[in-house]
Structure 1
């Protein structure tokens, strides 16, 4: 047992010695690497103070919006009338007031920089200019259905729908709504076929008896317009048409006889004619006496 313990102690001592040797080797290797790093590391360069103070210059960006720029150029080179129409369309569709700068941003028409465009726009009957802003000017200044009905009632003889179309964007819808509500009548003109708006005055409600309606509808009018015109004349009324004249014109093809052109009389040479070519006597052998 004693010999075994001695051998074990010797083994432990050898292990400790080996461990210390390995530790010293590792420490020396680490020190040599650190010294190599310090010797090989280059010294930092001195940077000028002016370089540090200056901020980096941003990269220059060029616009790629070539198509838009070309469109602006085409608008401004177009005729004055085309530019005026472009502005009026903008004012009509938006129904807002615009300054010259706002018009330029909206439709690229340079009102401020083009004297001809500015003067034509300021004097245009469809444009209202208050010295600063431009706005659309309709024939009748109404803005909604209530004002529209009030306007129509001031025209008992009727007002043309064409004069109301540009009053405001939904005016045609309001006309149909007033017609559906039996507040106005929309009738077509016999001659021009354009619609006329007539007021249906609610203060004068008229109820027609059914028997009277039937009697009115049972009356047969002459089928020939000549007979209708004769009946009107018998009752002291002047017909608006002249069927007899129209039929004669239709038969003749509505072509007036052209005046006959007078034939030009040929001038003949006689002995009394003053001759200027006396040196050519052979031309004047056969002269009329």
Structure 2
């Protein structure tokens, strides 16, 4: 064996001995003990309230709508058709407002026969009393009714109809007045082809005429002049008595009594107060 090989073998033996001494524990050295901690019992935390997911809430909302009365479901569909002014199939109505017309025959039949709904066999759409699109068509319609047309019949013609009515009124093309009997607003045409100028003397004469305070007397005067009154107060009062409705009577003012403390403005005319019974105070 060569010298180099012997030296290499000797070094390997030394390294082996050194590693053995390093791994050998010293005398008296205690092994590290692991500290065992007792397992702690898990504390009971209060359970959080159960929250429904958004999908669960949506399903509950849909279920409440479909269990609602037929009239309530019809109103939801009418509101949808009125606001959008579009035509919807039953499937689109179900997606938009959760009213399932295909599964509820009563809702479907009521919707199809509703006077405010147009059904072409496939789609539902809103149907107003007067088919109008803009202010010009509105003015043409009002001029066809010289005796006036109820505004309630025009409100749902198209979305901006009320704004157009006010614009026509501001332009002097229509009059918006209230009906005394029905308490409804009426639109009257103001025909620009018939301009009327009234003299101030005639206006003063008209305003100076004193009308009777009772409507029965006014109606009699109209009949004397060959005009038919629009109201029949006598008939209305007779019907009210038949149904046991007492006529409204104006409260009488309590007459003030004159005492010695009353301040008399005509004290210089004592003969005016000779027949008055003045109580002693």
Q: TM-score normalised to the size of structure 1?
A: 0.60
State the partner residue of 2:269.
Answer: none
Residue 56 of structure 2 corresponds to 66
**Cα separation, 2, equivalents of 1:73 and 1:214:** 69
* In 1, Cα distance between equivalents of 2:144 and 2:227: 28
Alignment counterpart, residue 110 of structure 1, candidates 81, 100, 110: 100
2 CA distance for matches of 1:226 and 1:127? 45
Q: Which residue of 1 aligns with 2:210?
A: 220
Q: Does residue 174 of structure 1 match 2:160?
A: no
Q: CA deviation at 1:66?
A: 0.8
Aligned pairs for 1:1-289 within 5 A: 64-225=54-215, 227-239=217-229, 240-242=231-233, 246=237, 254=245
Shift of 1:246: 3.8
In 2, the alpha carbon distance for the partners of 1:238 and 1:146 equals 35
For 1:67 and 1:189, the matched residues in 2 are separated by 49
Higher alpha-carbon Rg: 1
Residue 117 and residue 223 in structure 1: after superposition, are their counterparts in 2 closer, same or farther (change >3 A)? closer
Distance 1:216 1:87, change over 3 A: same
Q: Which position in structure 2 is the counterpart of 1:48?
A: none
Aligned residues: 197
Secondary structure of 1:143's match?
A: coil
4+ residue segments displaced more than 6 Å = none
Say what the alpha-carbon RMSD is for the aligned residues.
3.1
CA contact under 8 A between 1:156 and 1:198: conserved in structure 2?
yes
Q: 1:87 to 1:221 in 2, by over 3 A?
A: same
Q: CA deviation at 1:215?
A: 2.4
C-alpha distance in structure 1 between counterparts of 2:88 and 2:191, whole Å: 39
Taking the aligned partners of 2:193 and 2:169, their CA distance within structure 1 comes to 17
Q: What TM-score, normalized by structure 2, do the two folds share?
A: 0.61
Change in Cα spacing, 1:237 to 1:64, as seen in structure 2 (3 Å) is closer
Distance 1:69 1:82 in 2: 18
Asked whether the equivalents of residues 179 and 186 of structure 1 are also in contact (C-alpha less than 8 Å), the reply is yes
